[in-house]
């Protein structure tokens, strides 16, 4: 019977299917496993279902001689050295789906509207019992109708964000490494170079993957290009923004506010951003819906079962490994 280690408790009925045919160990404690704990519990594992916080370096992989698949319980997989996994014959999978994309797009809009209309500030004010009656100038925010939304990354999630902007009567700009004329027509969006987009947008939202090329894509230089008084939203990866430069842009008034679900040094959050009233911080929960988490569990489990049965999983990331995978 193949051995499977799951590095964090995950929801969903699909786990029962896995337990019926495999020897499953799941970490029950409410914290991230250390690399040492993963090695101790899973050294002889044939498959591992892990989180995006679990770092898989070449040296880490060498500690698992039987490992055939790392099933990453996330859409992104920058926590895994993909080249090393491929060289060692280890299959890597992730959990992309329309359910995840729609959920992140919805959450992006929740953040955008919340920061624009100062919902978090107003909610905390009311909870503290400070409300004394309606006032003409209490918590004045900004309407989004007629404003310009700049989308950095017009992939699946970026496209869904753009579709929702149509309902709010916004002009939508986008930036990608390559222009997409067909999608421009479909979504009613206009291509701009990054600096042009930043200078023209009232709201900027980020939807690119985290790679060496996108690390600190939004840095001090780029903040100088941003339209003064704009809002920044990030539900992609924290490292895409230089948070030190972000703090300065907020302090200088270059940005009116920021809403971040992802953070440069997760799980740590920037202490200066935590003190700012015009900043919303959430703990990486853009895809945290019951429907999405159950779908992710189903995908992660399915990938393990298929790989161990010799069937190529639909969500394989390193497809070139399949012909030379570990037996």
Confirm whether 237 is a catalytic residue: yes
Q: Are the CB atoms for 81 and 58 separated by under 8 Å?
A: yes
The catalytic position among 243, 284, 293, 298 is 284
Confirm whether 314 is a catalytic residue: no
Confirm whether 320 is a catalytic residue: no
Contacts 24+ apart (CB under 8 A), 23-32: 32/7, 32/8
Q: Are the CB atoms for 74 and 100 separated by under 8 Å?
A: no
Cα(39)–Cα(41) distance, rounded to whole angstroms?
A: 6
Cα(20)–Cα(7) distance, rounded to whole angstroms?
A: 19
The catalytic position among 237, 243, 264, 293 is 237
The catalytic position among 176, 184, 266, 272 is 266
Q: Where are the beta strands (DSSP E) in 35-123?
A: 47-50, 69-72, 91-93
Cα(248)–Cα(221) distance, rounded to whole angstroms?
A: 12
DSSP assignments along 220-254, one per residue:
HHHHTTSPTTEEEEE-S-GGGB-HHHHHHHHHTTS
Catalytic residues: 237, 266, 284
């Amino acid at each position: 019977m193949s051995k499977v280690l799951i590095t964090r408790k995950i929801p969903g009925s699909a786990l029962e299917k896995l337990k019926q045919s495999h020897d499953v160990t799941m970490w029950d404690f409410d914290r991230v496993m250390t690399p040492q704990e993963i090695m101790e519990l899973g050294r002889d594992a044939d498959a591992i279902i892990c989180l995006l916080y679990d770092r898989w370096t070449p040296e880490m992989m060498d500690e698992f001689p039987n490992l055939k698949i790392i099933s990453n319980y996330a859409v992104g997989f920058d926590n895994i050295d993909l080249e090393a996994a491929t060289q060692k014959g280890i299959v890597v999978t992730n959990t992309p789906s329309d359910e995840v994309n729609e959920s992140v797009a919805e959450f992006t809009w929740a953040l955008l509207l919340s920061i624009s209309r100062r919902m978090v500030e107003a909610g905390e004010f009311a909870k503290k019992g400070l409300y004394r009656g309606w006032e003409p100038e209490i918590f004045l925010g900004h309407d989004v109708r007629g404003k310009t939304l700049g989308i950095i990354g017009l992939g699946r999630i970026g496209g869904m964000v753009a579709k929702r902007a149509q309902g709010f009567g916004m002009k939508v700009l986008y930036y990608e490494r390559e222009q997409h004329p067909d999608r421009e027509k479909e979504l009613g969006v206009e291509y701009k170079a990054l600096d042009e987009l930043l200078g023209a947008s009232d709201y900027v939202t980020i939807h690119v993957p985290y790679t060496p090329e996108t690390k600190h894509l939004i840095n001090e230089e780029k903040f100088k290009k941003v339209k003064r008084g704009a809002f920044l939203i990030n539900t992609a990866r924290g490292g895409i923004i230089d948070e030190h430069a972000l703090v300065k842009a907020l302090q200088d008034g270059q940005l009116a506010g920021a809403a971040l679900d992802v953070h440069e040094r997760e799980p740590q959050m920037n202490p200066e951003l935590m003190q700012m009233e015009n900043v919303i911080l959430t703990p990486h929960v853009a895809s945290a819906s019951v429907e999405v988490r159950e779908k992710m569990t189903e995908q992660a489990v399915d990938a393990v079962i298929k790989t161990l049965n010799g069937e190529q999983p639909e969500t394989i990331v390193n497809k070139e490994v399949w012909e030379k995978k570990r037996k």
